[in-house]
Structure 1
């Protein structure tokens, strides 16, 4: 579908681009990016690992702003050039191409505008992403695997890198739980919007009577805390269990007990990693994940917004669902926090979830603005 007045649309988008460019201080951050890259190129940069990690973290945060805005400015130039061509001579092929570029530009502008909503201390960090099936046997495990597919499709859409750290298959179908490591610009900021319980209503594919079934699965997300030290006595405070990891039917089962499960004794918070064949590497990854979960546990005690999703034991509370996915009798998906609603169940389950994330980011900003200042 073409734009009735492409020039007017372009001018409106240009105004939004300039506004977001200025609000995020693009010019100053471009200079900061050059300085950080020069600093990293200096001999002896890694002689002080702690300072080097802080610089790398700052570089990543600045790149997360400079890159997307720079991309918008280039796309804006391309569209402006196409409008000039059409002003000289109307061409159906160029006009169709212009409509396509305008649609992409409009989508990218909306996405970059969400960066102005990501102001949390940890929003720019990479993160750990976890899915846990609720009670309900095969239906719940199948739903957990459907969520895993939905999110991996979303990661691919937005350009996040992801790797599976652990996975526990369901007895009949699906998965009981899984943990992934996610790397990308503002990964934690975006994915923290998905923390909570997700509810599915459908005709059970595992019921011979074709009964309607309600299934639950939880999503938990923690920022990766590579540059923050948390005091943990790994010998006294944590129990380590090792086991053999493998898929269904004995696929890829390790001959040695390379998978590692760490349990923090005081809180009973657990972190598991089975991604590597090396027990040493799995232990290192599990320790990083456990550190992140303990950090999140402490943060939830201070952050009332975050605390709503966790029980006193630091686990996702199975109280109210943040989002319901209705596949029967009608097809719709509704977010209970924001009221965001869509009938495009197929698109959402195929990873088109940005509308829900953006709506939750806007809700958070609004809630912070309304809350009384101490």
Structure 2
């Protein structure tokens, strides 16, 4: 069946409940290129968390530009992870719409899955990342869950409206960078959850650490959903459009950044032809994601997605299917498993090397990796990379088994939530 024209897709969003007809007989199957890209960033996020738990180098979130290039890029390359998770989540929802789900079905699925992710964030994910219960933490899983709740409402709107709202949120939220929670009285907690990183207290007791304010991420999920209209085009057309959008996004970043223009609270400093200039130029704000941060990361992600799609479709890179796709077919299970393994190995390593392992088993705000490693603990960057590779290899077979189990047991509905 031929892919639908843009006008046909718009017609779907002008009706109230009729499902979008499948673009092919494979509409309900997983998309290999999306799984490969998701698997790639899953591997990268393990590097980020391995560095958190095993590096002797403390990285300042406030100013990572002071790091040497190897440490800086070890941190910076993992900036691709969160935008990819959020963007592909939106794209996957659109593909479900194109495979026949009605708006009512999509909205219900998003509400259930969003609530489930929020529950996981404050229970299972919290435990494997932090340890015993303490101050809650709103991290990427919770932000994705909240963004899904937003998309559950937005799917009822016409597609052009969803696109416009997504662009407005992603491009416009930096206008409010000068608005701070401390000036908003009773609205301060809500503002932090939506737009400003920080702690939320109640009667002097810390309740929540907001690391990923969700509002800008929800805008990016809307853009991922809107991008779906291009993804169901024929291969040649979608790869060309994906590449064009990727290069345009990177060009936007370069122009805005070079001119010290709008879109990021961190201005950069020209130190001359030194690595400090490079790190300062690339030091864009992730918490919350600025326009410039989204422009450079999503630009790279789109180029990767286009290359992966073209390579798999023409049979040029079969190794991607046997390696990275495995991690992308069961992303949530992998995410929880890799956090648990890294955290456990850090506690064991800390104890075996004679350091205070309780730091990694003490709840926020007094302990955890966020409070920094015990004095004298940690490895150099090459050691961190070795541990990272070991962790990735150790998870390959378990994740592959679970992904295969999900595939051959579609009747077990609860597997969709892991």
Q: Give TM class, smaller chain.
A: under 0.3
Greater share of strand residues, 1 or 2?
1
* Larger RCO of the pair (alpha carbons < 8 Å, separation 6+): 2
Greater share of helix residues, 1 or 2?
2
Structure with the greater alpha carbon radius of gyration: 1
TM-score by length of 2: 0.24
